[in-house]
Structure 1
Amino acid sequence: MDPYLIAEPVVVERAAQPYAGTARSVTMATLHQIADRVPWLIGRLAERGIAPAGPPFIRYNVIDMDDLLQVEAGVPVAKAAAADLPERDGIFAGVLPGGRYLTAVCAGNPEADVTREFLDWAGTHGMEWDVQATPAGARWGCRLESFLTNPAEEPEPEKWRTELAFRLSDYSTTSAS
């Protein structure tokens, strides 16, 4: 197990979750630009009277490590809030898909090495991701990094806690325990 993973990954069944988000195309060098949108997004939602229903996340939709990453910053919201959220100011309503997810909590900022270890761990346990190759890069069914620690309140990255949650393929039958 990677030293940054706090415990063994586990498979959980997640219900579909409405969310509010904002999207960007970034490179690995500019990835921080989407994380920087989280406080802005939460502030804009607060102006509309919408409170997050869970921790904020970064959702990786399409990944081409050599070129562009299509990513979102988002926060879970109540179904009623999502229904009343008109798309404006770069904010939209969406739904994270339900299904089986492999999850793990990690210490610190989940840099590429931590994510790679998580992916490798799943592969050694026979798990397949909900992902497909496209000309634009790997398109993920749902790949999340949720901030369990608020970076604005804890300035030391090594003290952060982040949950990785990657949707498993419907064909993946192995489970972690």
Structure 2
Amino acid sequence: MPEIVELGERPYVALRGTVPMDGIAAFADRLREVIDWLAAREIAPNDAPFFKYDVVDMDRGLTMEIGFPVDDVHSGEGEIVTGVLPAGRYVTATHHGHPDGLLGATRDLLAWGDEQGVAWDADGDIWAARLEVYRSDPREVPDMDDWVTDLQFKLKG
């Protein structure tokens, strides 16, 4: 069941790109570039990796970032970007299962929000913070059907 929580600011380092809906998996495979960039600078992630959906346009593609929260704000370079996930109220829900089920979990979360009358922090297809946080480490949980993923969608105000 979704819940509303208060989250603080979270600096992050990520790889940014625009991908078609069927290109998310290939883009996700590039997370290693972020890991290598962080390692080369001796910067440690402080939480699980995330996908951040900045623009969600089912026809033209997704503008998204894949990365990690870190302790401090850094400067990116090339395709590596940095930023701060904004503080505020978020609707959160946990998905247990294969990432293929996240489309349905997202649809259910958005429908719940509509039923509850929440106001998403979004302007049309552009979102302030719409995240999938991947809690399962593939080295420890190799079966994707056993993965745990948190959805975190920022609310207005």
Counting only pairs closer than 5 Å after superposition, residues 98-137 of structure 1 correspond to structure 2 as: 98-108=87-97, 109=99, 110-133=101-124
Q: Give the alignment's TM-score, normalised by structure 1.
A: 0.82
How far the C-alpha of 1:158 sits from its partner, in A, is: 1.2
How far the C-alpha of 1:152 sits from its partner, in A, is: 4.4
Q: Show structure 2 runs of 5+ residues with no match.
A: none
Aligned amino acid, residue 147 of structure 1: Y
In structure 1, what is the equivalent of residue 7 of structure 2? 14
In structure 2, what is the equivalent of residue 66 of structure 1? 59
SS at match of 1:31: helix
- Provide runs of 4+ in structure 1 moved above 6 Å: none
Q: Give the alignment's TM-score, normalised by structure 2.
A: 0.92
Say if 2:76 is the partner of 1:87: yes
Q: 1:33 to 1:41 in 2, by over 3 A?
A: same
Distance 2:52 2:131 in 1: 5
How far the C-alpha of 1:92 sits from its partner, in A, is: 2.0
Q: Show structure 1 runs of 5+ residues with no match.
A: 1-7, 171-177
Distance 1:149 1:53 in 2: 14
SS at match of 2:117: coil
RMSD: 1.4
In structure 2, what is the equivalent of residue 145 of structure 1? 132
Aligned amino acid, residue 48 of structure 1: R
SS at match of 1:43: helix
How far the C-alpha of 1:29 sits from its partner, in A, is: 1.0
How far the C-alpha of 1:72 sits from its partner, in A, is: 0.3
Distance 1:102 1:130 in 2: 11
Distance 1:99 1:28 in 2: 28
In structure 2, what is the equivalent of residue 37 of structure 1? 30
Q: What is the total number of aligned residue pairs between the two structures?
A: 155
From 46, 50, 57, the counterpart of 1:57: 50
Say if 2:142 is the partner of 1:155: yes
